[in-house]
């Protein structure tokens, strides 16, 4: 287990922060330096997969939230040999859609998924890069429920603990790095 903590600590060291981005008062955590270094990207992917494999009963589908959930969700789904489904912002998916409206810090937004992409009764793992207030993960939870499936857990790389987003979610939350 110590090796896993060491790896997570090494991954955390690669994060870069930007104060007052994208607006004043926000501290933006950039995960892209990790992706630019194959050794750390692989380490991060492996750590996410290890956590996903611990979920019991097993995950039957992985749903990634736009946009950075698209970077990690497919990698996890391939390792688990289960489907990957994108959860996108309004107007980005073709066909019949399920949608959920949710409140953000400065307005409202809509998340959508293709109607038959998530099969009823399946256990879905939600994947995103960061948990802040929990708004987009909560909306995604409701979207999965609308599809007739259940959320097995939410898996994020970074959790901003002072914002207490975990407390807003009705499912287990797995985070690799707590800030």
pLDDT score recorded for residue 149: 99
pLDDT > 60? residue 41: yes
Active site residue 10: no
Task: For 25-57, give the secondary structure using H, E and C.
Answer: CCEEEECHHHHCCHHHHHHHHHHHHHHHHHCCC
Share of the chain above pLDDT 70, in %: 97
CB 164 within 8 A of CB 146: no
Q: List the domains of the chain with CATH numbers.
A: 2-178 (3.40.50.2020)
pTM: predicted TM-score of the whole model, two decimal places: 0.95
Mean pLDDT of 88-92: 97
pLDDT score recorded for residue 24: 92
Active site residue 68: yes
Catalytic residue among 60, 68, 88, 112: 68
Distance CA 125, CA 48 (A): 11
Q: What is the DSSP letter of 60?
A: -
């Amino acid at each position: 287990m110590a090796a896993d903590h060491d790896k997570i600590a090494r991954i955390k060291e690669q994060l870069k922060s930007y104060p007052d981005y994208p607006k004043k008062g926000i501290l933006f955590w950039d995960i892209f330096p990790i992706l630019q270094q194959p050794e750390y990207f692989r380490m991060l992917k492996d750590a996410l997969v290890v956590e996903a494999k611990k979920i019991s009963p097993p995950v039957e589908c992985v749903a990634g939230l736009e946009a950075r959930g698209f970077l990690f969700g497919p990698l996890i789904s391939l390792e688990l040999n289960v489907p990957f489904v994108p959860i996108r912002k309004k107007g980005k998916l073709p066909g019949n859609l399920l949608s959920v409206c949710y409140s953000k810090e400065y307005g409202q937004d809509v998340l959508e998924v293709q109607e038959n992409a998530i099969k009823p009764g399946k256990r879905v793992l939600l994947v995103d890069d960061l948990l802040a207030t929990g708004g987009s993960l909560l909306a995604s939870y409701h979207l999965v429920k609308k599809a007739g499936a259940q959320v097995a857990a939410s898996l994020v790389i970074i959790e901003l603990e002072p914002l207490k987003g975990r407390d807003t979610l009705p499912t287990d939350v797995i985070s690799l790095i707590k800030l």
